[in-house]
Amino acid sequence: MDDTKTALITGGSAGFGRAVALALAERGWQVIVTGRHDAALARVAAQASGITACQGDVTDAAHREQLHTEIATRGRLDLLLNNASTLGPSPMPALARYPEAELTNVFATNVIAPLALISALLEPVSRAAGAIVNVSSDAAVEAYEGWGGYGAAKAALDHATAVLAVEQPQLSVYAFDPGDMRTAMHQAAFPGEDISDRPEPETVVPALLRLLDTRPGSGRYRAADLLTEAVSP
């Protein structure tokens, strides 16, 4: 089996997913990026050798099967980064007035799809003694007005991540909270506001790389804490 490390990054066409894909490709990894927008994925793949674009929606079972087939041809999966998320309506509604169809979609994208993808790819991740990283949010642990739908979904994903870690002790299973970033989704959370003070996604990537390099015990980790540890004497 080829020793080249392989990663699958969902939501890899922009923002944090794109930044991680480019960083891993620079390290010599083979990276598969998936997302709904073909042109944006193609632009990411064109930026570095070793990046393969696989267009599709992770809530679609047929697309998850396509990803399984792609990974099977490579024989291993060292990192599954469940980064794809949806915020829900913008402006974000109060939880008591949240449209049911929108809430269903938020949970389908942020909870059901990552768990289904983990189920489909557990064998190649286990074979590589790899890592599963589910991107979380501080909204999973803090009560912010308007963030009820997204936050509840991320809280559910956090708990599922913790259970998976207990059930799969041979793997490194992480919930990773990147903190605020200057992304399109964060802008949608604050329509019409200037979010230029938020850090670029590239500044958060070193925290994830530290997590992958040091492989602490499975659990929930904040990027801010990992970056502080990296500069501590």
Please give the positions annotated as active site. Answer: 150
Report d(CA 90, CA 154) in Å as an integer: 17
Secondary structure of residue 196 in the 3-state scheme: coil
Q: For the chain, what is the radius of gyration of the CA atoms?
A: 17
Q: Work out the angle between the directed axes of helices 113-127 and 148-167 (0-180°, nearest 10).
A: 30
Render 97-123 in DSSP notation, one character per residue: G--HHHHHHHHIIIIIHHHHHHHHHHH
Question: Is there a contact between 33 and 53 (Cβ–Cβ < 8 Å)?
Answer: yes
